[in-house]
Amino acid sequence: MSEPTRAEVCVTACADTWIDAGEILVSPFGTIPTVGARLARATTAPQVLLSDGEAMLTTGIWPVGGEPEGYEGWIPFRTIFEMLWSGRRHVMMIPGQLDGFGNMNISMIGSDYQQPKAQLIGVRGAPGNTVQHPTSYWVPRHSARVMVSKVDRVCGVGYDSAAAAGPSAQRFHDIRRVVTDLAVLDFDTPDHAMRLASVHPGVSVEQAQEATGFQLQVTGEVPETRLPNDEELRLIREVLDPEGLRERELAR
């Protein structure tokens, strides 16, 4: 096998988010998280539930853009809410903005809600996701435009916002991981400030910090993000994404 690409390192970093996740619904946004979720099911998290993106639960693993191996159940929209409210779902969303305590914005850019600089997709289900079940994020362009000191509008609830809202928002609040094209980050600090957990091969701690609009927490020597092993690379390249769509998501 040739050396892993940056996109393949990101795929395995996403897959590691769901190690031993058990029987929960995994909802990934983006090509690399989608490949990562299917890789997790094929390796470290065989019990996770995956959907076809519409209304069916699928069996096995299948390539991005292809047809599932088969179907094991119907999952209408009302069932999604039942799983959400019970905490049996882990979503990986793509933020427009993300701050140092995990507040996330996918609604608008700018301080004036009546005349925003840019209109995004809207608040959507982000508040309910973040206060009811585990949530992670995928950032394909790690920069100070995305990783900001303060989001323009809170859609996904961060740790400081959950604390301010009180026990009802904190009870199930759990932001697990942030995977970017430069690094892996988490909130494993006393005050839940974002921590630099690892940097991808070829990326320095200084580069990750320079691309971030707030101070990242660093505890000790920051390790390098693990590389996919040969079997993971085979699955990624030959089974899950033979067309190489993962590389396009990181193409600049």
For the segment 7-11, the average pLDDT, to the nearest whole number, is: 98
Q: How confident is the model at residue 252 (pLDDT cuts 50, 70, 90)?
A: low
* pLDDT of res. 94: 98
pLDDT in tens, 190-247: 999 999 999 999 999 999 999 999 999 999 999 999 999 999 999 999 999 999 999 9
Instruction: Give, in words, the CATH class of 6-250.
Output: alpha beta
Q: How confident is the model at residue 82 (pLDDT cuts 50, 70, 90)?
A: confident
Every domain of the chain and the residues it spans: 6-250
* pLDDT of res. 169: 93
* pLDDT of res. 191: 96
Statement: residue 251 has pLDDT above 80: no
* pLDDT of res. 112: 87
Give the CA angle between residues 160, 164, 170 to the nearest 5°: 75
Count of residues in the chain: 252
Q: How confident is the model at residue 80 (pLDDT cuts 50, 70, 90)?
A: confident
Q: pLDDT averaged over the chain?
A: 95
**Percent of the chain topping pLDDT 90:** 87
pLDDT in tens, 109-138: 998 888 999 999 999 889 999 999 999 999
* pLDDT of res. 68: 94
Q: How confident is the model at residue 63 (pLDDT cuts 50, 70, 90)?
A: very high
